[in-house]
Every structure is written in C-alpha cells, then in structure tokens.
Amino acid sequence: MLGTLAGQLSTSDLIGIVAPTNDRESQLYIDGFTSGVKAQKAQVNVDVSFVDSYSDPALAAAAAQTTIDGGANVLTGTAALAAEALNTAGTAESVLWFGNQADQSPLGQGFVVASQMYHWEVLLQPMLTKVDEGVLGGELLMADLANNGVEISYNDSFELDGSLRDAAQATAVSLADGSLQTGVE
C-alpha cells in the first residue's frame, strides 16, 4: 500500500529503501513496497541499500544520502536504524518518506507521508492463549491488514490528495480481503 502511494508521488525514476540486512522481515517489506511502486510506475527503479548493521545510524544516513544524490525523491526504510535515514530525508529538499513499524509522522511533519504500523497485540494474545493451553510453538502467526495487525497511519500534516488516499485505502481493502495479490509470500 505504501509503495502504491510512493509510486504515484515519485517525480523521479528512483525510489530508495534503506534496510539493515537482507533478512526475511526486511525482504517482505521491500518486496511488498516494490510491488506497489511497480504497479503504479513500472519504469521506476527501487534502489535497496543493505547497510549490514542494526546499530550504525551513520551507515543508514549515508545510504539515504547516496540515494538522494542519485535522484530519489521518495525513501523508506526498515528497522529502528532507518530513523537516521528519515532524518537525512528531512534535511533534503522535496524528499518524501514512508515510515515502517510505527507512526513516524511526529519525526517529519512536512515530509512523512504515511507509516505502516504493526499491532503486535494481534499476535501476542493468541500466543499467550496457546501457552496457557500447553501449546508451545508449531504455528505461524502473521500480522496483516486482514487481522488488523498492520495499519496504515497517514500524516495529517502532509497534504495528501484525497484521491490518492482513497486509492490507497481501496488497495488496503483489496489486500485484506485477498482480491489483490502482491505475489509476496
């Protein structure tokens, strides 16, 4: 969903993603975001920078700056490390940011468009129930739009065209009910 918005808002043929490592969680976000971008503008290149660290914000900032210098006007990132990439985007002129994992709007009032937020309680409650029942593992639990484990939060201080927001919400509904498939598993 965020990629769909990013593809529509990008004014260049380059969008950047800053990630700590090429792990499953990062890759799921990257693949889903890229799928949304490509659905809007197939010609846009999505540059993924793996900084190979969860604890070096300078690497995230450098990766973001390199992508901006290459012409990107839209960025996103994964993991807490991405906060420094967000800060870098905020110092650049006309660069937009899409948050991940939590609402990042307070960190960038004028340039954070929207954030994907996780609601871990959707997974924790069933886990605790299973433990109480004596079941210790063996089942994969997913947080997604269908079970409200994932929510998109829009930055009210970013002026997003209403038609874009409506289209993004329609995408969310289609993803949640399964009528739209991203090919990401």
pLDDT band at residue 83 under the 50/70/90 scheme? confident
**Residues in CB range of 100: below 8 A, 6 or more apart:** 2, 29, 76, 77, 78, 82, 115, 116
Please give the pLDDT value at position 140.
86
Please give the pLDDT value at position 137.
86
Sheet with strand 14-19: strands edge to edge? 45-50, 14-19, 74-77, 96-101, 112-118, 150-154
Torsion of CA 51, 28, 111, 61, to 10 degrees: 0
Write phi, then psi, for 168 (nearest 5 degrees). -65, -40
Please give the pLDDT value at position 184.
63
The tokens for 8 are 């529509």
Q: What pLDDT digit, counting tens, does each position of 119-167 carry?
A: 999 999 999 999 999 999 888 888 888 899 999 999 999 999 999 988 8
Whether residue 179 is predicted with pLDDT greater than 90 in this model: the reply is no
- In the chain, what are the domains? 2-119+151-177 (3.40.50.2300)
Please give the pLDDT value at position 5.
95
pLDDT band at residue 3 under the 50/70/90 scheme? very high
**Residues in CB range of 169: below 8 A, 6 or more apart:** none
Rg (CA), the chain: 17
For 12-70, the DSSP string reads SSEEEEEESS--HHHHHHHHHHHHHHHHH-TT-EEEEEE-S-SS-HHHHHHHHHHHHHT
Max intra-chain CA distance, the chain? 55
The predicted model gives 60-68 an average pLDDT of 96
Angle at 91 between CA 89 and CA 93, to 5 degrees: 85
